Each structure stands twice: as C-alpha cells, then as structure tokens.
Amino acid sequence: MLKRSNDFASKEILNTREAATLLNVTTQTIKNYIYSGKLKAIKTPGGHHRIRLSDLKDLGFAVEQEKTLENYSTPELLTAYNSLLGTLVSTVESLIKALDTRDIVSSGHSSRVADMSCSIGKKMGFTEQKIHDLKLSALLHDVGKVGISEVILGKPGRLTDQEFFLVKKHPEIGGKIVSEIEHLSPYASSIRHHHERFDGRGYPDEIGGTDIELNSRIISVAGAYDFLRSDLTFRKAFSVEDALQEIRRSSGTQFDPEVVQVVADNSLEFH
Ligand SMILES: [Fe+2]
C-alpha cells in the first residue's frame, strides 16, 4: 500500500513533504489529515509537523481509498461514469419491462418506444448526451401507470369516462415519481408532457407547439406508432404503411410535423 521506492521510506520520522510523497498525495492533504485528527503528528520547536512512519502506515488503508479517486485520470473517470450510466439505463429497462406487462399493448412497449425515439433523435442530429436523456425519458414515459389498476390497463375494448379519466392521470403520476428520484428528476417534465398535443388539446397541461419539449414530442409520435403496430385483444396491428398513414394524418394536430416528417422520411427503419 505504501510506496517504498524512496530513500526516506526507511526513516522513522518524516516531514510532511516526505509523507505526502510516500502516500502519493499533496502536502496539503497530509496537513488536512493532521488538522482533522486522522493523522498524528509531532511539532518541532520551529512549529513544523513531523510524522512517525508507523502512524503513516496506520493511515495507509484510508488514504489508499481516498487517493484512488483523487488520482483517477479523465479517461478512467469517464469510463467509470459511462459504466454507471449504463447500469442506470439497464436497471430502468428491467423495471419498466416488468411494468409493461400490465398493459394491453404487448410487452416491451417502452423499450420499443425508446429505440424508435432514439432513432428519430439521431436523425435530428442529437448529441450522444441528448440521446441518452431521450432514451431514459422514453423508457420511463409510462412509469405513472404503476399507479393505475391492472384491470383498467388490461381492459379489452372501450374504457368508460371514469376509467379514461384515471388512465389520463399517468403522465402526472409518472412525472411526480421521477421528480423525486435523484439522477432521474431531469426527465420529469418530458414524462409529464408525453400526452400533450401539438395543437394544445392534450393533457395534463394543454400546452402546445414548442412549449412541449422536443423529447416529449418525439416520444408522443413513437408511442402512438408502437401502439398502432401492436396487436390488441380487440384489433389486429396496423401494417407499417397504415400506421404511418395514421401518424401523417395527425401531423400538426396531435403531432409535431417536423418529427412526423423524420419518421416518414425514414420509414424503412421502423417496423
Ligand atoms: Fe402514456
């Protein structure tokens, strides 16, 4: 743990610079350890600190842990950060997969919406970071359905007004759930607004046009497309052509025309 390559490593009493070199930390870090009581030190008559090698050894393990973070290089930190992000995405993916099975739309809806949303985002020139944000928003867009009865979500056929009223609560519930989770809270607004319409007649806030954030406008199109392409208990899935036709028909009313155009222009990529 302690580096032994220096001559002074065999000395019993060290000054702060030598101690810092041995532990591969700065002298200020050594002073901080002394001031915080983590490391015992002797004071010379001149007021300088001296450290016994044995005390430094006792600190070895704790220091080793702290210095690993201090000494990570930027690429190493990036790798660790990306791996954490990957873990976050796959954890969300697994949880949402379980949740999706409660709905009439075939299982995997949220993952498919996430994939399609990301394809649209890429065509629109999104950066990698923006694609990552879009993916999480899309994966989580229907998370609020956790607060709605399975009997209603899985009901074949038309919902009563009361049932539809409850289903329409899911964007608000989802936004609220996500807003309370650290690291996911930035996605709350795009989740809350994925059922807004471009003409302002959606829900819950009845906002329209570019007041609806772009991620919500993309998820709205991808979600509707996947819904149309799914076999439901009371109707067969639309063909790719028919589903695209339906989406085009609602361009400018339900959907952002720019997003619809991207889907129409790249229809071969969507199945
Ligand atoms: Fe939804």
Higher pLDDT, 68 or 96: 96
Sheet holding 13-15, edge to edge: 13-15, 49-52, 42-43
CATH class, range 7-71: mainly alpha
Cα Dmax for the chain: 90
Of the candidate CATH numbers 1.10.3210.10, 1.25.40.10, 2.40.110.10, 3.40.50.300, the domain formed by 75-269 belongs to 1.10.3210.10
pLDDT (average), residues 78-92: 86
Q: How far apart are CA 156 and CA 234, in angstroms?
A: 6
Rounded to whole angstroms, how far apart are CA atoms 110 and 144? 12
Lowest mean per-residue pLDDT among 21-25, 137-141, 178-182:
21-25
Q: What is the mean pLDDT of residues 221-244?
A: 93
Q: How far does the centroid of ligand 1 lie from the alpha carbon of residue 77, in Å? A: 36
Ligand 1 centroid – CA 128 distance (Å): 25
How far is it, in rounded angstroms, from Cα 211 to Cα 209? Answer: 5
Domain boundaries, the chain: 7-71, 75-269
Q: How far apart are CA 212 and CA 199, in angstroms?
A: 10
The more confidently predicted of residues 57 and 253 is: 253
131: which residues sit within 8 A by CB, 6+ positions away?
118, 121, 122
Q: Please state the separation of Cα 232 from the chain's center in Å.
A: 30
Ligand 1: centre distance to CA 268 (Å): 25
Which tokens hold the place of 225? 């497309």
d(CA 194, CA 205): 11
Q: Do domains 7-71 and 75-269 have the same CATH topology?
A: no
Does the pTM surpass 0.85? The reply is: no
CA 80 to chain centre: 15
Rounded to the nearest angstrom, the distance between the alpha carbon of 169 and the centre of ligand 1 is 9
Strands 13-15, 42-43: pairing is unpaired
Average pLDDT, the chain: 88
